[in-house]
Amino acid sequence: MIIYDGIIEKLQSGGGVSVVFREIISRMSDYKYICYDEDSNLSLPTNQITHKARLFERYRDVILTTEEMGIGSVFHSTYYRLPNSSKIPVVTTVHDFTYEKFVKGPAKWLHSWQKKRAIERSNIVICVSNNTAKDLVEYCSIDPKCIRVIHNGVSEAYYPLLDNNRGNSNRVLFVGARGGYKNFGLAIDAVSSIENLELNIVGGGSLTTEELKLLESKLPKRYRWLGRLSDEELNIAYNQSYALLYPSSYEGFGIPVIEAMRAGCPVIASNTSSIPEVAGDAAILVNSLSADSLRDALTQLTSRPRREQLISDGFKQAEKFSWNRCFQETLAVYNELIKRNEK
């Protein structure tokens, strides 16, 4: 039996980490999912255990019963926590090292302490990309034999629509968080330099006052914030877009890249961190991020042969990633630990 600690639902209402565990848990049969004070969005009610959240719950070990710690059980937290016993094997999934690279002060210290503690006491650590595995070895003391790279998947909700308006679209799509290393400002500058393009913004929370000022000064009447979209709505947005502009300086994986490719939307991204691993040769990857380099990449897509080749290559690249494959590889990790524990 797999014991999932659902603390992530106390930390975020949505996001990449939640997506990963939702996809894995939806395919599991023998598991228990611990949620806190409220019903879970990730699991079936029959598999759910509700715990009362304690003060500073996110930083505390998870209390398990003797039955839950029995032979054949594995503990897997959704966000860097440990069980209150060393008897049960532990799996930890590492998604990225954004805190270590970009955050400063107490928030970074506390996060890094919790992450390292979970990693160093785990029997197996799953990394969502080879690049994240490389970062893991750099930032943490770990035996490489304990690392397994299991790539994220992509939802089947993303696919090309027959009645899309992609060929004539002037909409450039920006998906996800916008702060700091995501280089939202560069995206604004690049789009503003091409007269007929507009910027459509998905997710990442409401636009801040500073972001609105920047957009109004550089893209007046040429931007729209679409808010948080469902998979089905985002698929339509990909299908109706000129391109996905994804100029992030760092990603642990980069799920929007594969979503866009699966929907037939050309991708422009930075040639750094996990992006080349995920995008392969099916995107325009910019080596030196600047408004000019992003503008040049956007201009390339005016060539129909270039555009059609990227779309075709994107379909092939997206086929390399699936949640079924991610689940099967994760299940193999659980079975490996269960067999070890039975000896």
Interval 75-97: pLDDT, tens: 999 999 999 998 899 999 999 99
Q: What is the mean pLDDT of residues 24-44?
A: 80
Backbone angles phi, psi at 148, to 5 degrees: -125, 130
Determine which of 21-25, 70-74, 249-253, 317-321 has the lowest per-residue pLDDT on average: 70-74
Is the pLDDT at 313 greater than 80, yes or no? Answer: yes
DSSP SS3 for 137? helix
Q: Return all residues near 341 (Cβ < 8 A) that are at least 6 apart.
A: 71, 72, 89
Q: Are 35 and 50 in contact (CB under 8 A)?
A: yes
pLDDT of 9 reads: 87
Closest listed residue to residue 229, CA positions, set 268, 201, 210, 253 = 201
- Per-residue pLDDT band for 240 (boundaries 50, 70, 90) equals very high
Neighbours of 329 (CB within 10 A): 14
- Sheet strand arrangement including 198-202: 223-227, 198-202, 171-175, 243-246, 267-270, 284-286
Closest listed residue to residue 63, CA positions, set 46, 82, 47, 76 = 82
pLDDT of 69 reads: 79
Query: What confidence tens digit (pLDDT) does each residue in 107-158 have?
Result: 999 999 999 999 999 999 999 999 999 999 999 999 999 999 999 999 999 9
Q: Are 265 and 271 in contact (CB under 8 A)?
A: no
CA gap 312, 309 in Å, rounded: 5
Q: Are 35 and 25 in contact (CB under 8 A)?
A: no
**Which residues, in sequence order, are bridge partners of residue 49?**
34
pLDDT of 73 reads: 93
**Superfamily (CATH) of domain 166-318:** Glycogen Phosphorylase B; (3.40.50.2000)
CATH number assigned to the domain with residue range 2-153+323-342, chosen from the 4 options 3.10.450.30, 3.90.1140.10, 3.40.50.2000, 3.40.50.300: 3.40.50.2000
Is the pLDDT at 42 greater than 70, yes or no? Answer: no
Residue ranges, comma separated, of all CATH 3.40.50.2000 domains in the chain are 2-153+323-342, 166-318
